[in-house]
Structure 1
């Protein structure tokens, strides 16, 4: 008696039937992806190039840093650990900008610029110390700000502003000594150069597309007040310090949203780097 072909019921999954009838040959199937080793030192150059993070380019022209995991302290130094350390330092040190504004406001409160009033002469030593400390903190804040703008389109402007501010800061602490002569000329020269440096820093912030344009505008307005204008009229330095305080808080608050938190899915880059 001939065997009857097995009849399939309608309840059977049609996808299984199609897969059974139209099973492609093994040669047409795509190769399975190779497993990436957990240890980056065991990676081949091809595997290292595949897992290397890709630089993201924003619409404003800013190259955002890749998202990295915090490196393991037992591993040797690599590009990953360097980027992470620089990013963490810059995001923390930029909070020195509001601190600079507070120190500057305290050091210049009640001052009369280069005029030698009785109150100004009596506390000249403390004002020199306070102004020098405020200037040092301000330079650290500008350094951190320049580091955050290192990949922005205005990084050249930010770097020029930092260099000019450093040069002017060397002469600005001589301002409380006052009096005619060479010291006064040096103080005015330092104030003018410092003003130009802060103007360039404000323009770099306003045009970077990373921070708010309003914060950069505040820095530009405050630059002549904390620089040359403040030496001629002491009250301007205090007003300029308040403007820097407002701009510094806005800039420092935005650094927390500048880069997302490091992801946990990307493998770290090998120490020696991988060919692009």
Structure 2
């Protein structure tokens, strides 16, 4: 009889522990659920933002945003957007901000910015057997870029005297297409962020040659609508700088890119 009482008591204790544990988890889940959400818009742009094997957004910008907004008391919802409509989406409030290796250069008056938090080189890549070695060799050539990106503006405006007149500038909606056009010989060169080109070569086991002379070195930032007066942008700017100083950004970037220190050299930008 005594043995039965001991067993019954142990069962009761087990039930109570389970009950309390369940309550604790429910409270935690409720707390997470009640956190305000920041909707971050980006397109697929490895290694900054892309879907992993499980279909979950990952990459440099995803990890940086998750950590930064967590420190600010928010959770992040990363959504894939039509990159050409990014300005319209952030101004309508459908997304809170744009973060996808987004160059601040030439766009300072269009958005409210947090950053720069990373520096990046805009470069030109060609096939390995190409006779193009310098920017001047692009004269009369066909070049592919992703539409609404900084390289598109560089070649269209030609305010830099180093940029020659092309035969054709082909603007494509998706990042992957520009590399397919180059690989198939439809164009002579492509222009994009250096990290994106390196990542594509790694992902698809292909080789392009990147010209030593860059188009431009730019600062990467997070863009909010110009009339966004919630103060989130300004707080995020401070948190991203805090992460750069405390080593968090270095650790995150190092997961995806070699020599991560060079990407954090942003003090020279006067934004």
TM-score (norm 2): 0.23
TM-score (norm 1): 0.23
Which has the larger strand fraction? Answer: 2
Which has the larger helix fraction? Answer: 1
Instruction: Work out which of the two has the higher radius of gyration on C-alpha atoms and give 1 or 2.
Output: 1
